[in-house]
Chains A and B, each alone.
Chain A
Amino acid sequence: MRRDIVLRVIAKLLIPFMLLFALYVQFHGDLGPGGGFQAGVIIAASIIFYTIIFGLPEARRLLPEWIVETMVASGVLIYAGVGVLGILLGGNYLDYFVLDHDPVHGQHRGIFWIEVGVAVTVSGVMLKIFYMFAGRRRDEDNG
């Protein structure tokens, strides 16, 4: 599909907007449908779109395996880190009230960072699953 000029041009036009839309969904989670999981899936979808048009080796050059695996683990650590930060600042685990100078801003900050963690992990997991499935050796008989 890399040879088809229409597909290539459309892909190059659309993918930045898909990523931008993912960021919009990510930060709009507390005012409308959205949040970390949905944003992560849209990010992964845009990279998968790129992979379908330009091929798996290209995508592996863009986002090597070790980056994807690091994304999976570090998102969880960001989430847990926010929780531990709550303990260190004097509250309970995953306490957002103590994260800023007043409780409401603390809630904002806490929710922001855990959603970042969720988005990183979810996009990493979706990409890793896609890499695994797409990278499997194709059988001779596609039965």
Chain B
Amino acid sequence: MTLEHLPALQVVLPLISAPLIVLVRRRWFAWALAVLVSWISLAIAVTLFLEVGRTGVITYAIGNWPPPWGIEYRVDALNSFVLVLVSFTAAVVAPYARISIAAELPREQAYLLFAMFCLCLAGLLGITITGDMFNIFVFLEIASLSTYVMIALGQRRKALVAAYQYLIMGTIGATFYVIGIGLLYLMTGTLNIADLAGRLRDVGEIRPLLAAFAFITVGIGLKLALFPLHQWLPNAYAFAPSVVTAFLSATATKVSVYVLIRFYFTIFGTSILFAALPTDEVLLVLSIAGIVTASLVAVFQQDLKRMFAYSSVAQIGYITLGLSLANEAGLTGSIVHLLNHGVTKGAIFLLIGGIALRCGAVTFDRLRGIGRRMPLTAFGLVIGGLSLVGIPGTAGFITKWYLVLAAIERGYWWLVAVIVASSLIALGYVWRFVEAAYLSPPDERSVKQGEAPASMLGFAWVLVIACVYFGLDTSFSVGAAREAAVLLIGGAR
């Protein structure tokens, strides 16, 4: 098992650990295997990232069938970055999960959640690493189905309704995606992404391509919670177990954004995108609508998880905003926000998991005075909130910087004003938490509770520190993002 099989092992190892967890039903074994496999996945992802930086694109033919006949795993600058993000999130969330899951799930069900976690990880890594359109659909459904199960394992009965709603919308999205790639396959005869990019040049009829483009956009838009297709997200994030919310918020939507970027810039290229259809204007309007309305709705929420779920919708709006601007700065901003928002939201939801463990609920009336009783948790949440606003020194600022640069480059000065204004709205809901935590008298019901357990707090703070680190030292995040952006824009026709 030498280095050349790493692309396959990246997906296969989490995939194999899921049935192993089901065979051995013990809770400690499930947790230990999940932690081991996510750390090994992180090691593989980092190795692949460094290898791609040295030698360029890595390709791997599954079953030794040469592409384009066979399925090809293809690692380049863009997806090695996303691989590191997904596996890093899993590597931090899995060890955290032991106490959190023990508190939130019945003992007999814990192994099921860890099995679904490994399957979800395998699915997300598979979406990222594969170079075949239909294989993306298969892994997308693997990840989505395991996500529906994980959400349905939430404590309250509303988790079931949230999981059902997400199932319906997610399956419609995946089926739209399949229709889109069906049209592409019928026009060109190939499913391989790299081969398709070449063959699209020679296609005579453009109308099926435009239809395919529209179907794929709507399908992936449902998965990445593009406004107004985001209705499933607040309920799903609010009622799922804390570990699940943290993992999903950092990875599931980001990987769907990766698929969108891959289709837009590697396959379709700028000619179809921005000449034949007004894609950039539509994306721009939807992104701004998402940012503004989701931020405003977040300010009025009573439940902390729901508030940050709406904040996620707004942050995804920033990512698609960078996409719609379609220049190098915008694309860099989008890709770097995959990582920045991932670590920020991951940190926030992991800390909220600690609050849920100690206080029982995460509504604002229970949170009063938490700044004194759980100082590290509250301070970590403040840092995360500042990153969402985009204060200099945090990861969120880097993204906003690149988005503003991109807007100026396109001459959209009004857009700069919108970005700044939306950051002020974000300040609104972050201030609500600060006010409840630090400036209110403590709630009588949870006065005796102390800080969250050390293991949970430790791993949550790994992400908080990452949040600050990626705001100060951008060599990894922006370097990789810019390299990916140059690759995508240069490859587009």
Contact = CB atoms under 8 A, between A and B. Distances in A.
Judge: A and B partners, yes or no: yes
A73 B8 contact: no
Contacts, number: 55
A92 B8 contact: yes
Given A77-B16, A87-B5, A92 B23 contact: no
Given A93-B8, A93-B12, A93-B63, A87 B19 contact: no
A83 B22 contact: no
A76 B12 contact: no
B18 interface: yes
Chain B, interface SS category: helix
A30 interface: no
Contacts of B16: 76-77, 80, 84
A45 interface: no
Given A84-B12, A87-B8, A95 B19 contact: no
Interface string B431-465: 00000000000000000000000000000000000
A88 B15 CA distance: 18
B61 interface: yes
A127 to B, nearest CB: 15
Given A80-B16, A87-B1, A92-B5, A69 B63 contact: no
A91 interface: yes
Interface in A54-86: 69-70, 72-74, 76-77, 80, 83-84, 86
Interface in A20-55: none
A118 interface: no
Interface in A68-121: 69-70, 72-74, 76-77, 80, 83-84, 86-88, 91-98
Interface in B115-137: none
A95 B62 CA distance: 7
Contact of A74 (B12, B23, B60, B62): B23
Contact of A92 (B15, B18, B22, B61): B61
A52 B15 CA distance: 35
Interface in B224-282: none
Contact of B63 (A70, A72, A77, A96): A96
B63 A73 contact: no
A65 to B, nearest CB: 11
A92 B60 contact: yes
B20 interface: yes
Contact of B62 (A77, A80, A84, A93): A93
A73 B64 contact: no
A69 B60 CA distance: 33
Contact of B64 (A70, A76, A77, A92): A92
Contact of A72 (B8, B9, B19): B19
B60 A80 contact: no
Contacts of A74: 19, 23
Contact of A95 (B1, B15, B63): B63
B1 A94 contact: no
A12 B320 CA distance: 62
Contact of A76 (B5, B19, B61, B62): B19
A80 B5 contact: no
Contact of A97 (B8, B12, B18, B64): B64
Contact of A93 (B5, B19, B22): B5
Contacts of B60: 92-93
Contacts of A70: 23
Contacts of B19: 72-74, 76-77, 80
A1 B1 CA distance: 56
- Most A Cβ at <10 Å: residue of B15, B22, B63: B63
Contacts of B64: 86, 91-92, 95, 97-98
A77 B15 CA distance: 9
Contacts of A73: 19-20, 22-23
A94 B61 CA distance: 10
11 contacts: A72-B19, A74-B23, A76-B19, A77-B19, A77-B23, A80-B19, A86-B64, A87-B1, A91-B64, A93-B5, A93-B62
6 pairs of A and B residues whose beta carbons are closest in the complex: A93-B8, A73-B19, A95-B64, A76-B19, A73-B22, A94-B63
